Amino acid sequence: MANSRSGDSVVDRIVRLISAFPPEVSTLQLSDLAVRADLPLTTTHRLVRQLAGHGLLETGPEGMVRPGLRLWELVNRTSPTLALRQAAMPFMEDIQQVLNQNVNFAVLDGWEALFVERLSRRGSVANRAQVAGRMPVHISSAGLALMAHQDKALQAQYLEQFVDPDGKVTRDAIRALLSETSHQGFAQLAGVVDPDTWGIAVPVLSRRQRAVASLGVVVPLREMRLQALVPALQTAARGIARNLADS
């Protein structure tokens, strides 16, 4: 039920407040939080105080606010990605041990790849994929691997609404990429997110042959070895799928 002049409900405002923390920023000034959530400062102060009382937010000196441990606890206890992550971790660790490079695991959420786990080591190449971070389908190998192995109706919806905000990628180009990825069984993008890296991802398929997740690596361009990387990733993806089927 809406009870504000703008017509948004209390739930709407709480969601905006909790979602206002940007990636890699865990603490905000109360005034900055209000601006990012597009809420009046008095409303923000009241909601923060109430949420802090339940442990969902925490307040600190000088008006600082951060997500609370209770929020983390609830999300990790009930998240549908928890079983996916548990099934994937042993295989991700094996891949990382062999490559000594970034390994990531993602699911499709709307028209974006949502990264639910990432393993990296000191000395590995730059990787923009962060845990709980997102990337548009068309700029991530994970996103392409996920979308290329969905049903045709969903792909059609995605292509119909697709607009590259930078104006560099056309709908026809994405259609061709999805077709190529589906045919090959893996996605690859070189120098798209970072000019010196190559992203490769394979789908983790359900019994209906739909991608429930993607397993990917980010490697230096100079060390690209598709003939070795892809079979290793595909073997790991099949192992993850078996773990999920048995759970």
pTM of the model: 0.78
| Domains in the chain: ranges and CATH | 10-75 (1.10.10.10), 79-246 (3.30.450.40)
> What pLDDT does 2 receive?
43
DSSP state of 9: B
> What pLDDT does 202 receive?
97
Question: Which of these, 87, 77, 127, lies nearest to 107 by C-alpha position?
Answer: 87
134-136, strands of its sheet edge to edge: 134-136, 112-119, 102-109, 211-220, 197-205, 187-190
Q: What is the rounded distance in angstroms from the CA atom of residue 239 to the CA atom of residue 244?
A: 9
Residue numbers in the chain where pLDDT is lower than 50: 1-3, 5
Check: CB of residue 204 under 8 Å from CB of residue 212: yes
Backbone phi, psi, residue 214, to 5° = -135, 145
